Structure 1
Amino acid sequence: MSSKPVKIEQGEWVVVCDGSKALFLQNAGDAKFPNLQTREVMEQEVPATSEIGTDKPGRSYSSVGAGRSAVEQTDFHTQQEEEFLRSIMAKLDAAAQAGKMKSIIMVAPPRAIGVLRQHYTHALKQAVREEIQKDYVKMPVYEIEKHLAAA
């Protein structure tokens, strides 16, 4: 986590995301006066698990006695969010492999950062300069700039 202001170098990418939206930004300014421009926006509708799953949780029966217990329902909402985060990493990896970016600043809530880290390829590990564990994805770009400068 960052407690000091973040210097965003010229041409550096800033990826702001969560489990349902990602903003791919690039600094068109310089480190002193950043000017984040949107390169791409990815969005995914992630319905609640109750809307996705149709059955009630299953039951398991004990092999000895008459005991029964509920089986935990699959969290489809979390699965879809993690799949979306994996797709972000695939897109970033392709850009890194193609040499389209030198470095990246990742900005995401702590849980999303944890999922993203699991999918860093060698190229992405080299490219990620900083991780900021904040949820800025619903902010306009100029607000994101301000928050990063004050981080």
Structure 2
Amino acid sequence: MLLPKGAWVVVADGEKAMILENKGTPAAPKLAVIARDEADPVVGASDRPGRMMDDGPGQRSALEQPDYARLNAERFATDLVEMLDRRARRGRFEKLVLVAPPQVLGALRDEMDDTLRGLVVAEIDKTLTNHPIPKMAEIISAEIDSL
């Protein structure tokens, strides 16, 4: 399989995402940036964990601190999928390639409806957000060729 011309490629991790389009040919992809997005900074609690009363005289238990980084990553995945869904409904793209670490791929997949999921032609479990775009195109093309 080759990367189709006009296909959108989402390269994401839990903190940032790039949406790219193949402006080249399937045999020689050339990725152009459509959009970039970054998650809001993680804000943690500065206080100690909360306490709740237990059964028994004078007994209290600590409450677990929320994992703010995980919650932020999940919210980011939800926002990214909503944006992709809006653009897919407008006919901006017909094929979608997802490139992300396994946990992010799972979060994206969980948020997608059947219509958007039907546009996904490949999923690549790699972290490429810090690579230059030409290197991304090379790696993505090689991965898709091996599918």
How much has 1:144 moved relative to structure 2?
0.7
Q: Which amino acid aligns with 1:122?
A: D
RMSD: 1.6
Corresponding residue number in structure 1 for 2:14? 19
Could you list the structure 1 runs, at least 4 aligned residues long, displaced by more than 4 angstroms after superposition: none
Q: TM-score, normalised by structure 1?
A: 0.86
CA contact (8 A) 1:46 1:81 kept: no
Q: Deviations over 1:37-59 (max 9, x none)?
A: 11111122433xxx521221122
d(CA) in 1 for partners of 2:53, 2:120: 48
Corresponding residue number in structure 1 for 2:85? 93
Q: Deviations over 1:81-127 (max 9, x none)?
A: 21111111011001111111011000111111111111101221111
Corresponding residue number in structure 2 for 1:116? 108
Instruction: Tell me whether 118-127 or 59-68 shows the greater mean CA deviation.
Output: 59-68
What SS class does the counterpart of residue 141 from structure 2 fall into?
helix
Corresponding residue number in structure 2 for 1:129? 121
d(CA) in 1 for partners of 2:105, 2:129: 13
How many residues align? The count is 143
Q: TM-score, normalised by structure 2?
A: 0.88
CA contact (8 A) 1:97 1:123 kept: no
Q: Which runs of 5+ in 1 are unaligned?
A: 1-5
Identity %: 31
d(CA) in 1 for partners of 2:7, 2:141: 14
CA contact (8 A) 2:40 2:72 kept: no
Q: Which amino acid aligns with 1:93?
A: D
d(CA) in 2 for partners of 1:147, 1:61: 54
Q: Which amino acid aligns with 1:16?
A: V
How much has 1:69 moved relative to structure 2?
3.0
How much has 1:9 moved relative to structure 2?
0.4
d(CA) in 2 for partners of 1:57, 1:133: 35
How much has 1:143 moved relative to structure 2?
1.1
Q: Deviations over 1:127-147 (max 9, x none)?
A: 111111111111111111121
Q: Which amino acid aligns with 2:2?
A: K
Q: Does 1:29 align with 2:24?
A: yes
Corresponding residue number in structure 1 for 2:39? 44
Q: Which amino acid aligns with 1:44?
A: A
